[in-house]
Amino acid sequence: MKLTLNSPLDMHLHLRDGKMLDDIAKYSAKSFAGALIMPNLIPPVTTIKAIIEYKERILKACNGEIFTPYMSLFFKESYTPEFLRDAKPFISAVKLYPSGVTTNSEGGVSSIDIKKLAHIFEAMSELGIPLCVHGETDGFVMDREKEFSAVYESIASAFPKLTIIMEHITTKESAELLKKYDNLYATITLHHLLITLDDVAGGLLNPHLFCKPIAKTYKDREALVQIAINADKKVMFGSDSAPHLASKKECCGCAAGIFTAPIALSALAELFEKHNKLTNLQAFASDNARNIYNITPPKKEVVLRKKEQTIPKEFEGVVPMFAEKRLTWSIEQIY
């Protein structure tokens, strides 16, 4: 049993920088034709010079693989329409982080005041630059995404020409919100399609499944699975693959993030096959993103075969999701 994916895309990817970038970029570059790269480095990517230099480092780390890094800017309240116009040729999106909600987001927006930020949203609307958002408040951890819904609604209604990507949605309410506004879209991760909070903390605490936003309930997971496997045009795959060394995960103050890059396509194939929706994986893992972002990725065919594999214990010191467990699908060939 085989499946060929044409130019699969990962529209939410953390590659870090320095040695971590050099070690792990190859795993995404091997199996994906492109990815939207997150800008929350230290310091964050906020200038055209930083975009260009970071992209060069990514390409160098990809070891010649067919792979396009689609770059993003870290949202700053100080951006001007003129700056965004100059930056547009170098970016595919601007990523908004509420301050302090996730890894390296301390320089994010402290308060999302629509009137105060209107000039930025209007410029992005006119220029056709998508706004990607980490949609969480600083409230109770299970309610943060739900509480942020009002912010999405206010931006979507005030700026109907602005393409808004709700990143890594985790709740049934977010899935339903997509239907309400034509300009709202979403990425869904592998892990939020497969796990709930029970997997993270229902028994012994599993630090390698701790992420932000936290995995939610069975009801929430099922809502995400349904819109993913049924090829809803509003959603696309974004792994939010976020590598941390094992020493940063297996400790007090565990870092948030799940590393899925090397196994993502195999695990997605297993999930879609389970629901008899294997042919819909092409839309979720590529076609929808092309339409939402208006991009043409490089040609790359990834052939998956139903062949069991055992996931390695680690990749370059980073423990992946499903480490030492088995998946029923494997990548057979890439060309």
Q: What angle do CA 292, 297, 302 make, to 5 degrees?
A: 110
Asked if 10 is an active-site residue, the reply is no
Q: Where are the domains of the chain?
A: 9-263
- Are the C-beta atoms of 223 and 172 separated by less than 8 Å? yes
Work out the average pLDDT over 71-83: 97
pLDDT at 32 > cutoff 90: yes
**What pLDDT does residue 110 have?**
83
Q: Is the pTM of this model over 0.75?
A: yes
Nearest to 198 by CA among 213, 187, 186, 214: 214
Q: Does the pLDDT of residue 41 top 90, yes or no? A: yes
What is the pLDDT confidence band of residue 100, given thresholds at 50, 70 and 90? confident
Looking at CATH, the fold of the domain delimited by 9-263 is given as TIM Barrel (3.20.20)
Residue 103's pLDDT is what? 82
Strand order across the beta sheet in which 34-37 lies: 9-13, 34-37, 68-70
One of 10, 220, 232, 240 is an active-site residue; which one? 240
Better-predicted residue by pLDDT, 112 or 197: 197
Task: Tokens for 68, please give them.
Answer: 């396009």
